[in-house]
């Protein structure tokens, strides 16, 4: 069997770069040193990482049936997103932004569709076998695996840098019982460390000796962190409804798209059932309506002038039943000047 036998199948399924790793290639301790470095600054931020160390650092040892790991990149798919129906921002009123990538089709879904297609083609070509598919959904360190496989290099902003698409690629993995030949791509161009992503990051979540600090990242704070926000956390979150992506968008080869600016108060006033319907099938679905409303409340609190902020507090509290949203509004700091002007874009 030749690598070309499965490469053509993966290309038919819609993947761009395709590699295949085998157990011996992962035995050099790179995954455990990568994980230890990450945990030094970020332990506790993503519980599924802390609790899955064994399987993350030795993916084949914990899947004794698997003989090969296909790791492949794929591109985002633009879509007429239902999020475009959300109330748009107006100058002079608090706004909150949705990251451009959230307007694409949810990459978990598009990647999974491609993986299912690849699985079907592999079965047709080589016979049925046990498999495990994942797009940011399984306990797998996709990014260091992509580096080992030559899919991309490590960018300054900790994402994977691709020669052609910069930080704009997604990754998918497929473990299989099939004994496929190894394929490691030529070392890709290194991210040129031009520093534009660092300049664009509003919270300086990376770039110092401690490496990437996920708790400073607006994408994590807006989507993964589920608790009520303190005033300091609200300032860190800024005018963010979901995601961020400013470090990705500032990268020179990335196809820049503006974030979607939503009217934060109109969003907070929307019935939760209507929001739940609108975000279904988008990346925001994973975060859920309560956390999105919490983020909208934080955007309002930090943009209103102090006298208006204090006057509006009780009115907005009366609108909100969720303890997460209410505690976020209650944490608004009195007398503090607005953190940002009420203009969008
Ligand atoms: S903006 Fe510059 S430093 Fe940052 S990932 Fe892109 S090329 Fe690398
Ligand atoms: S997503 Fe935003 S906050 Fe997070 S590292 Fe990138 S620019 Fe910074």
CA of 257 to the centre of ligand 1 (A): 17
Q: Whose CA is nearest to atom 6 of ligand 2?
A: 247
97 and 109 inside one domain? no
Assess if residue 89 is contained within a domain: yes
CA distances from 89 to 79, 84, 251, 259, 344 (A): 21, 12, 26, 11, 7
Answer yes or no: are the C-beta atoms of 293 and 325 closer than 8 Å: yes
Q: Which ligand has the nearest atom to the CA of 162? A: 1
* 287 CB near ligand 1 (under 6 Å): no
3-state secondary structure of 207: coil
Q: Quote the tokens at residue 16.
A: 């761009």
Q: How far apart are CA 117 and CA 10, in angstroms?
A: 9
pLDDT tens-place values along the chain, 345 residues long: 888 889 999 999 999 999 999 987 787 788 999 999 899 889 888 887 888 888 999 999 989 999 999 999 999 998 789 999 999 999 999 999 999 999 999 999 999 999 999 999 999 999 999 999 999 888 899 999 999 999 999 999 999 999 888 899 999 999 999 999 999 998 667 888 899 999 999 999 998 888 899 999 999 999 999 999 999 999 999 999 999 999 999 998 877 678 999 999 999 999 999 999 999 989 999 999 999 999 999 999 999 998 888 889 999 999 899 999 999 999 998 877 776 666 554
Q: How far apart are CA 99 and CA 93, in angstroms?
A: 19
Query: Phi/psi at 302 (nearest 5 deg)?
Result: -85, -10
Q: How far apart are CA 76 and CA 128, in angstroms?
A: 29
Q: Quote the tokens at residue 319.
A: 């609108």
Assess if residue 341 is contained within a domain: no
Domains contained in the chain, number:
2
Report the candidate in 235, 243, 328, 333 with the shortest Cα–Cα distance to residue 279.
243
Assess if residue 121 is contained within a domain: yes
Give, for ligand 1, the residue of 162, 196, 247 to mutate: max count of ligand atoms closer than 8 Å to Cβ.
196
216 and 231 inside one domain? yes
149 and 244 inside one domain? no
* 161 CB near ligand 1 (under 6 Å): yes
- Chain centroid to Cα 299, Å, comes to 21
Question: Domain limits at 19?
Answer: 3-75+105-176
The H or E element spanning position 72 is strand 68-74
């Amino acid at each position: 069997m030749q690598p070309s036998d499965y490469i053509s199948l993966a290309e038919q399924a819609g993947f761009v770069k395709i590699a295949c790793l085998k157990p011996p290639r992962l035995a050099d301790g790179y995954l455990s040193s990568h994980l230890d470095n990450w945990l030094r600054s970020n332990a506790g931020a993503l519980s599924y990482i802390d609790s899955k160390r064994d399987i993350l650092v030795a993916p084949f040892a914990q899947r004794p049936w698997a003989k090969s790991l296909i790791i492949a990149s794929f591109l985002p798919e633009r879509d007429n997103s239902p999020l475009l129906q959300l109330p748009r921002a107006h100058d002079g009123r608090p706004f909150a932004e949705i990251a451009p990538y959230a307007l694409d089709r949810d990459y978990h879904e598009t990647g999974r569709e491609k993986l299912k297609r690849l699985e079907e083609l592999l079965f047709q070509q080589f016979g049925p076998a046990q498999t495990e598919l994942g797009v940011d959904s399984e306990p797998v360190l996709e990014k260091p695996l992509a580096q080992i496989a030559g899919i991309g290099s490590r960018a300054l902003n900790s994402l994977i840098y691709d020669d052609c698409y910069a930080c704009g690629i997604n990754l998918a993995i497929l473990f299989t019982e099939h004994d496929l030949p190894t394929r490691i791509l030529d070392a890709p161009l290194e991210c040129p460390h031009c520093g534009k992503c660092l300049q664009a990051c509003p919270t300086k979540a990376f770039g110092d000796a401690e490496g990437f600090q996920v708790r400073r990242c607006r994408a994590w704070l807006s989507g993964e962190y589920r608790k009520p926000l303190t005033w300091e956390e609200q300032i860190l979150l800024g005018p963010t409804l979901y995601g961020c992506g400013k470090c990705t968008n500032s990268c020179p080869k990335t196809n820049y798209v503006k974030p979607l600016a939503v009217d934060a108060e109109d969003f907070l006033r929307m019935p939760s059932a209507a929001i739940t319907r609108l975000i279904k099938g988008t990346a925001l679905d994973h975060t859920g309506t309560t956390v999105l409303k919490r983020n909208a409340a934080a955007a309002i609190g930090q943009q209103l002038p102090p006298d208006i902020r204090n006057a509006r507090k009780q009115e907005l509290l009366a609108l909100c039943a969720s303890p997460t949203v209410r505690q976020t509004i209650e944490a608004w700091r009195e007398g503090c000047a607005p953190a940002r002007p009420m203009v969008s874009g």
